[in-house]
Structure 1
Amino acid sequence: MTQNTPDRRATFLVWGALGIVYVVWGSTYLGIAVAVESIPPMLSGAMRFIVAGVVLGVIVLVKSGPQAFRMTRKQFLGAAGVGLLLLTLGNGMVAVSEQYISTGLAALLVASVPLWLVVFRFVVRDRPKALTLAGVLVGLAGVAALSLTGAQGGSAVGIVVILLASLSWSVGSFLSSRIAMPSNAFAASTVEMLAGGAGLILLGSGLGERLDVSAVTGRSWVALAYLVLVGSLVGFTAFSWLLGNAPISLVATYAYVNPVVAVVLGALVLSEQVTMQIVAGGLVILVGVALVISTERKGRRPGPDEISEETSDKARGVAREEARAEG
């Protein structure tokens, strides 16, 4: 009885944190759509990540002290570069795309990120298993089906932009585990958010975006506050805790649960149309992603309290970078 109590508490905490990641990150697509109703997309992202980066930086300083931010120039530039790929180009283009396509369609196409990561691994001679490649082919077939048909969820422009966003996320995630990065994950996230936010200001201003505060609705301000406090801070904190306390195979399930949550919320809150094309194409993508993730994690079958060094260094590192983009 005494021994089982800590186990039950740990299980409850794991599923509680996982539930937060499922719902919070699935809802960020809805939050972005509402925010860009009256705030320019690039500038809305800039405000989101700069505020979140400052808040996270202060928390890190209070908890860990200035030493948490000790990093070499190479590590700083690595984190800044990843921030530009994930947040400026990745998340920024998601915000732009949601002016043209539904949140559900955006989330389903972004779910293809794990598939592109496998493609990049293949290019650099890291040969994935046959089942992994099969999952990639299945998933990309779903992406092609949704992209070519439009799935009645938006324009071709929006689809092209969201696919470019997914590609940028994938490149950032792929490089993050292969370049010098700050040793403290939260310090790295702070640099990424601030660099990504600064990049969004420059890009948005260069493209002619201007913020008219008087034109911003209360609904958009609430959505932006939600993205900062809940999407970026609460969601990422829960995810980071999961990386140290749960099997990576379980944590990785967020990749195919978030799109489902996004589709449901888009239909319920924004009355977005969920067509049979979206359902069918989305299911194909998620089956491919699930096959990739499950096959990649089968090698050693680590338990909840035992994760191999390889899983820790590679799988967690890439998962963390995907998560920074997601949240």
Structure 2
Amino acid sequence: MFDWIQKLANWLVYDSLEMTQGTHLAKALNFFIYDTIKIILLLVVIIFLMGIVNSYFPIDKVRNYLSRNKLYGLEYLMASLFGVVTPFCSCSSVPLFIGFVKGGIPLGVTFAFLITSPLVNEVAIGLFLGLFGVKTTLIYIISGILLGVVSGFILGKFNLEQFLTPWVKNVLENSQREEAVFKAEKTPFIMRLPTIWKEEKSILKGVIPYVIVGIAVGGLMHGYIPEGFFETYMAKDNLLAVPLATIMAVPMYLNASGILPIVQVLVLKGIPLGTAIAFMMGVVGLSLPEAMLLKKVMTFKLIGIFFGVVTLCIIISGYIFNLIF
């Protein structure tokens, strides 16, 4: 499917620039050109398709629906699925999280959205398809959704509302609940296209710089770091590799578009896929900037519980991925 891109990259690097095959710089540049073209094309298609989905499931109406209907446990799955179709990183998901809490949605359900949204969205899906193929992408999507559902369900059972900040409690006590009815939009599809395209351009403008930086770092690693370098420290037979990778990721912060090209190279260099994905989930879903934003609505104790449960679920996911692949 992408053979023509590889041929183009080979022509640019080895024919046009007359670089010698096998050299570090040539390998790095070839990787950069190939992955940049492939990923941007995939992002354009995936973001457009998900834009169509978003246009039929507006945020405010999903929020109203979740807060007004008894779904017998399925609300965790719905919130997690909603996280999939929203193009937010962990930090930009926080304002929407606050809106969910203000709207009266149970805290566990809101956590399910907050966890899934930065991990699995159109950008992450597009990148995963290009970097790891359809099978791995499907498994990643399912595991990301389950991570949100399970973590949200566990957190919901702890009755953590007492650990919300006084600001949130005051908002909940004084808010007037609107009695809006959940209705489907009547706008014709053709009339939605300008808005969908405008949103796509906005998302692309925001993520492409991260994609390019991530691919550039990945290209340098691909070209200059010898095979087996990472495997020495994070091999599959090292039982502590997954938790170490997850914990080490927390101080870092990148969105999926920036970290996935680096994850690809880590896998190429010998790190097991589960360990690499656990590292990526830690970088994307557990970050210090996110913790600082969450301080507006959560006490430090609640932030600690949230991070602890999600970290445990990420580690379990990493081990499962290593068993599957």
Same topology, TM > 0.5: no
Q: Which has the larger radius of gyration?
A: 2
Coarse TM-score class (shorter-chain normalised) = 0.3 to 0.5
What TM-score do you get using the length of structure 2 for normalisation? 0.33
Q: Relative CO higher for 1 or 2, CA cutoff 8 Å, sep ≥ 6?
A: 1
